[in-house]
């Protein structure tokens, strides 16, 4: 674990209370061992990040260990592409599992042997009913189920059939292995649940070695036990599976049993988090890929400009709860602003350029203007920005007929150019169609920033020197969905709720020359506009920036209320 840069989260919560309780009773010899168990059937998202921070965070705070385990018991949907991305994303978040990376599929033999033991002890049987019949046996939440006609098969017959299933002698859906529990249980999950099913599918890890695959509810408690997990943290929907989790451990007479503890999933406003839905967005090209900066995936957030620290801080702020709730996406945005406010260099970039000519500034002259890199952090120093006769300013910073409260540039009015001079607009040059081509201004040489000049005007705007500026493409992102809860909305097709304006590409932006060499992932504050980072698609020829977040922080307003 990266002990140096990851701060322990001080927040106490009910999970820590349970663990403290176990430690007081000296359960597990005072050991704490957790795991993060993703199914490699998609890329990780911000909800997983919460689970990762929780599991690895608890291990860190209790001097324990956390494993990475791929829960890969469903061969049809799993893929090594996902395995690789998960490894990369958990590492990037700042966590390390040393040599403890496992696959549930590594345990297929042990899981099989345990299933044989259950059969031998009369705790499991082969059911040869059709899927339809099995469904009908299930009963309903208010009516008990009925026993399968195959429930009382002899041990010998069960063993023979199970071996034949393993050896590929039967087709998918013809037989299953079921736990013999109680078809009348009030908990539907305890009504003789399936342990193994036949699936003649190639597995990403075990290839064609197996054609029977264990169910999650069976594989999970046992994988936890094989790895010596003490606390198995999972999301609330598994609460009702907990009796079954415990049943398998007990039926197999296992000691030092892991304890399952459930917590609420993270749900974010304006976001979908189900892997199935995210996959649909990718496959149907609503987004450019899993790492599209509008996606709530970890790789999407990374490309958008989020730092691992901001995501860890966000997870801490959200905390863990026992009840499902919706978290405001503004809190996530607040977390990255907090980080970048401290750490990002302030630079000047003009996104919608308007040309300004300073008519009284000598042609060919160039001055180096001093500007500080980050007012929040003196140690980040300062840099020089070239000032010349021809500049770009932001189109929005000029109004030909200014609104009442507009204090920026307008005909006859003055404005300060940040870290440079006060200028005055004298003339607006237009083309035949009446479109503004450029502004003719004059500067006041007595007002150079840092020269001790005391003259002040109401507005300050940013600018870049035209002969020096570097052209860049800037991508502005808005929320991907138009409603707060796209998954729970009345509209059944969540894709109808996609925001058509979630991406705006500005191809004609200009930035200070110093940043022509900015590297992929480098983060900046464009003064007055927001936080931006260099997209990995940037090349020496073409600089591309993603807007991480605008400056305005709606969360701090909520906090202050």
Site of interaction with Mg ion (CB under 5 A): 39
CA gap 476, 526 in Å, rounded: 13
CA quadruple 72, 286, 85, 232: dihedral, nearest 10: -50
Active site residue 39: yes
Among 178, 275, 346, 479, binds ligand ATP (CB under 6 A): 275
Stretch that binds ligand ATP, among 9-17, 35-43, 134-142, 478-486 (CB under 6 A): 35-43
Among Mg ion, ligand ATP, none, what does residue 235 contact (CB within 5–8 Å per kind)? ligand ATP
Stretch that binds ligand ATP, among 45-53, 140-148, 392-400, 407-415 (CB under 6 A): 45-53
User: What's the number of CA atoms in the CB half-sphere (13 Å) around residue 141?
Assistant: 1
Q: How far is the CB of 51 from ligand ATP (least distance, A)?
A: 4
How many Å from the N-terminal Cα to the C-terminal Cα in the chain?
Answer: 38
Does position 440 interact with ligand ATP (CB under 6 A)? The reply is: no
Report the residue number, 224 or 468, with the smaller CB distance to ligand ATP: 224
Restricted to residues 50-109, the positions that interact with ligand ATP (CB under 6 A) are: 50-51, 71
CA gap 229, 32 in Å, rounded: 8
Q: How far is the CB of 487 from ligand ATP (least distance, A)?
A: 11
Tell me how long the chain is: 561
Report the residue number, 37 or 300, with the smaller CB distance to ligand ATP: 37
Query: DSSP characters for 503-522?
Result: EEEEEEEEE-GGGGGPPTT-
- The single residue of 265, 317, 495, 528 carrying the catalytic annotation is 265
Among 19, 90, 179, 273, binds ligand ATP (CB under 6 A): 273
Q: Do residues 407 and 383 lie in contact, with contact meaning Cβ atoms separated by under 8 Å?
A: no
User: Left if phi > 0, otherwise alpha if psi is -120 to 50, otherwise beta: which for 391?
Assistant: beta
- The single residue of 123, 275, 294, 479 carrying the catalytic annotation is 275
CA gap 323, 540 in Å, rounded: 50
Among Mg ion, ligand ATP, none, what does residue 48 contact (CB within 5–8 Å per kind)? ligand ATP
Q: How far is the CB of 215 from ligand ATP (least distance, A)?
A: 14
Q: How far is the CB of 110 from ligand ATP (least distance, A)?
A: 21
Q: How far is the CB of 1 from Mg ion (least distance, A)?
A: 25
Tokens encoding 154: 């002899």
Among 19, 33, 37, 270, binds ligand ATP (CB under 6 A): 37
Q: Which residues contact 88 (CB under 8 A, 6 or more apart)?
A: 299
Element (H, E) at 390: strand 390-394
Q: How far is the CB of 37 from Mg ion (least distance, A)?
A: 8
Q: How far is the CB of 278 from ligand ATP (least distance, A)?
A: 8
CA gap 333, 301 in Å, rounded: 11
CA gap 80, 430 in Å, rounded: 59
Stretch that binds ligand ATP, among 33-41, 282-290, 475-483, 533-541 (CB under 6 A): 33-41
Does position 312 interact with ligand ATP (CB under 6 A)? The reply is: no
Does position 31 interact with ligand ATP (CB under 6 A)? The reply is: no
CA gap 2, 94 in Å, rounded: 7
Does position 265 interact with ligand ATP (CB under 6 A)? The reply is: yes
Q: Which residues contact 500 (CB under 8 A, 6 or more apart)?
A: none
CA gap 224, 230 in Å, rounded: 8
Among ligand ATP, Mg ion, none, what does residue 257 contact (CB within 5–8 Å per kind)? none
- What residue spans of 202-241 are helical by DSSP H? 216-226
# chain residues binding ligand ATP, by CB under 6 A:
15
Active site residue 275: yes
Dihedral sign (CA 3, 23, 266, 77) = positive
Among Mg ion, ligand ATP, none, what does residue 191 contact (CB within 5–8 Å per kind)? none
Active site residue 495: no
Active site residues: 39, 265, 275
Using CB under 6 A, list all residues that contact ligand ATP: 37-39, 47-48, 50-51, 71, 234-235, 265-266, 273-275
């Amino acid at each position: 674990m990266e002990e140096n840069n990851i701060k322990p989260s001080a927040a106490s919560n009910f999970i820590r209370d349970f663990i403290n309780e176990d430690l007081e009773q000296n359960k597990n010899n005072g050991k704490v061992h957790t795991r993060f168990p993703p199914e490699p059937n998609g890329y990780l998202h911000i909800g997983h990040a919460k689970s990762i921070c929780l599991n690895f965070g608890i291990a860190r705070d209790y001097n324990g260990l956390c494993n990475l385990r791929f829960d890969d018991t469903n061969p049809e949907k799993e893929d090594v592409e996902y395995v690789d991305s998960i490894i990369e994303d958990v590492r990037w978040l700042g966590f390390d599992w040393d040599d403890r990376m496992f696959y549930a599929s590594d345990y297929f033999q042990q899981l099989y042997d345990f299933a044989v033991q259950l059969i031998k002890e009369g705790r499991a049987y082969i059911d040869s009913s059709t899927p339809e019949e099995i469904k009908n046996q299930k009963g309903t939440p208010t009516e008990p189920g009925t026993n399968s006609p195959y429930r009382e098969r002899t041990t010998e017959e069960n063993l023979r059939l199970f071996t034949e299933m393993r050896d590929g002698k039967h087709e998918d859906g013809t037989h299953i292995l079921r736990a013999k529990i109680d078809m009348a249980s009030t908990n539907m999950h305890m009504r003789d649940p399936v342990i193994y099913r036949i699936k003649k599918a190639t597995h990403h890890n075990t290839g064609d070695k197996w054609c029977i695959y264990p169910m999650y509810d069976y594989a999970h408690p046992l994988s936890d036990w094989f790895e010596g997990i003490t606390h198995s943290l999972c999301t609330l929907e598994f609460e009702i599976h907990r009796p079954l989790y415990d049943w398998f451990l007990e039926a197999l007479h296992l000691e030092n049993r892991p304890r399952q503890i459930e917590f609420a999933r993270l749900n974010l406003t304006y976001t979908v988090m189900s892997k199935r839905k995210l996959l649909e967005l990718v496959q149907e090209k609503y987004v450019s890929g899993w790492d599209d900066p509008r996606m709530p995936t970890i790789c999407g957030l990374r490309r958008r400009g989020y730092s691992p620290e901001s995501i860890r801080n966000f997870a801490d702020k959200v905390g863990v709860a026992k009840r499902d709730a919706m978290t405001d996406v503004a809190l996530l945005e607040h977390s990255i602003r907090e980080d970048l406010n401290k750490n990002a260099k302030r630079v000047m970039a003009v996104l919608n350029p308007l040309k300004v000519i300073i008519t009284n500034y000598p042609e060919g002259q160039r001055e180096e203007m001093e500007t500080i890199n980050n007012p929040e952090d003196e140690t980040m120093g300062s840099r020089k920005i070239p000032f010349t006769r021809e500049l770009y300013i932001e189109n929005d910073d000029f109004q030909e007929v200014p609104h009442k409260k507009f204090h920026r540039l307008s005909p006859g009015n003055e404005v300060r150019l940040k870290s440079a001079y006060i200028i005055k607009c004298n003339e607006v040059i237009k083309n035949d169609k009446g479109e503004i081509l450029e502004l003719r201004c004059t500067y006041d040489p007595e007002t150079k920033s840092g020269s001790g000049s005391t003259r002040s005007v109401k507005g300050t705007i940013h600018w870049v020197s035209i002969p020096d500026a570097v052209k860049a493409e800037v991508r502005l992102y808005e929320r991907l969905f138009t409603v707060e809860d796209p998954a729970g909305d009345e509209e059944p097709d969540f894709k109808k709720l996609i925001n058509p304006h979630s991406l705006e590409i500005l191809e004609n932006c200009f930035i200070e020359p110093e940043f022509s060499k900015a590297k992929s992932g480098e983060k900046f504050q464009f003064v007055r506009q927001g936080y931006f980072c260099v997209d990995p698609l940037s090349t020496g020829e073409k600089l591309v920036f993603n807007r991480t977040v605008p400056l305005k922080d709606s969360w701090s307003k909520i906090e202050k209320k």
